[in-house]
Amino acid sequence: MRKGICYNVKIIYMGYHYRKEDEKYLLEMCKGVVSAAHYKFQNAMISGLRKYTVKMQLITSLPVGSFPVFSSKLFIKSKLHGNDYFEIGFINLPIVKNWSRFLRSYIQLRNLLKTNDSSEKTTVIIYDLSIPFLWSVYKARKQGFTFNVVLVVPDLPGKLGIEYTGRKKLVSFLRKMQEKNLNPYIQNVDGFILLTEAMRDALSIQNKAYMIMEGVTTIEKDTYVIQFHKKKILLYAGELSNNVNLQDLIETIINRSKLEIELWICGKGDLEEYIKIKAKEDSRIKYFGYLSMDKMRELEAQVDIYINPRRSVHEYTKYSFPSKNLEYLKTGKPVIAYKLAGIPNEYDSYLFYPKDESNIALGEKIQEVCSLNCEELQRIKSEQIEFVTRYKSKEAQCSRIFDFLEGIQ
């Protein structure tokens, strides 16, 4: 990890970041759901990159679903925060929003590139397979501007293996059609930051430079206190659907009626009504709805064990890393999860894997972790926090990113 080093490189970051103070406004606009995973990844990466360069500017667009089904706003206004944070506005309609974002982002990118010092190296980092931003850098290069392009790929939408219905199915279809035409813009990229090796083959990037960075996180100064409750509290937070095998988790808890545990569930999704019914049938199941990040942190302080029931049955697990596993590990509390193809082997010493993907094996692992004593829990906390701080913190991972950037010509 580099300390006290500042590079003469200008970073222009293009993504879907938002300021923490805008979360409430965004939740209202998005009708209650914003991806915490994408926010945390971007926020950690941006603040980590700032530690190694004073020359960093952001072009961002609010991660808002299209009007009127997924958002209450038709027109999103542009805003300037300070001298280096440009939040571009757009017309919030399907397809139209891509063209609108492209025009605004290209104009802003061109203006920033015009101010470049000829002696400094400029790298544009794009977060996600963003059609408007990929178009923008492609056009800027066609206009004669010189800079490197690095694409961060957090997931591959075409590989998610999620079935949609109704309007969601139409939107998904339209997006896939656009992504089929992305190849010339992807070939315009100089380097890739991928979550897994399998992503490289799926993107057909061949001889392009790439690095694997499955996750990045911010280490909190105040870690959670390890508590020793007689009745253990397990937490699942995230998507409420069978894509993450949530029903099997709930049934596993219900079938172990003598186990002194509570399962706390947070999030939104298709299984909300099912969860509410099960919570009425079994008082050990508690549903808290969708919570803001601050409310979520308050809840997590009371939790004993984290659990992620996502299994390897879907192909997309090869192309993704469950970021919540990393967020859970940094708290120092035990994390139960299945061994997925996208999880690097270095995590094996810190995650509690069931021996197979059956409900019986999951129940056995829950019972095993619930029986850990205070000494074992303190050892787990120390080892987990040391691992995350040394290898997965924003300082460690962004140091690797700058090593990677130096190698791109």
Same domain, 193 and 266: no
Whether residue 63 lies inside any domain: the answer is yes
CATH number of the domain that 184 lies in?
3.40.50.2000
Whether residue 4 lies inside any domain: the answer is no
H or E stretch including 42?
Answer: helix 36-50
Distance CA 143, CA 408 (A): 21
Whether residue 224 lies inside any domain: the answer is no
Distance CA 205, CA 324 (A): 28
Whether residue 115 lies inside any domain: the answer is yes
Same domain, 189 and 251: no
Name every residue whose Cβ is closer than 8 Å to that of residue 115 and which is 6 or more positions away in sequence: none
Same domain, 306 and 365: yes
Domain residue limits at 327: 232-391
Same domain, 199 and 240: no
Distance CA 259, CA 363 (A): 10
Residue 226's closest CA among 363, 376, 371?
A: 376
Distance CA 358, CA 355 (A): 9
Whether residue 110 lies inside any domain: the answer is yes
Provide the 8-state DSSP code for 104. Answer: H
Same domain, 181 and 266: no
Same domain, 204 and 299: no
Cα 210 to the chain's mean position, in Å? 19
Whether residue 179 lies inside any domain: the answer is yes
Same domain, 145 and 175: yes
Distance CA 342, CA 400 (A): 20
pLDDT in tens, the chain (409 residues): 556 577 678 999 999 999 999 998 898 888 767 889 999 999 999 999 999 987 999 999 999 999 999 899 999 999 999 999 999 999 999 989 999 999 999 999 999 999 887 778 899 999 999 999 999 999 999 999 999 999 999 998 765 444 444 445 555 555 565 556 788 899 899 999 999 999 998 888 878 999 999 999 999 866 667 777 889 999 999 999 988 999 999 999 999 998 999 999 999 999 999 999 999 999 999 999 999 999 999 999 999 999 999 999 888 899 999 999 999 999 999 999 999 999 999 999 999 999 999 999 999 999 999 999 999 999 999 999 999 999 999 999 999 999 999 998 6
| Count of CB atoms situated within 10 Å of the CB of 5 | 11
Report pTM. 0.92
Whether residue 242 lies inside any domain: the answer is yes
Total residues belonging to the chain: 409
Residue 196 · residue 213 · CB < 8 Å: no
Note the pLDDT of residue 226.
72
Place of tokens 């992504």: 179
Output the six-digit token pair for 298: 């308050």
Residue 26 · residue 18 · CB < 8 Å: yes
Residue 152's closest CA among 313, 71, 44?
A: 44
Place of tokens 């020359």: 55
Name every residue whose Cβ is closer than 8 Å to that of residue 79 and which is 6 or more positions away in sequence: 87, 89
Same domain, 142 and 282: no
Same domain, 194 and 236: no
Note the pLDDT of residue 160.
47
Whether residue 226 lies inside any domain: the answer is no
Distance CA 330, CA 384 (A): 6
Same domain, 296 and 193: no
Distance CA 164, CA 57 (A): 37
Residue 217 · residue 42 · CB < 8 Å: no
Same domain, 290 and 155: no
Residue 250 · residue 278 · CB < 8 Å: yes
**CA distance to 7, 63, 136, 154, per residue, from 100 (Å):** 34, 14, 11, 23
Same domain, 175 and 276: no
Tally of domains in the chain: 2
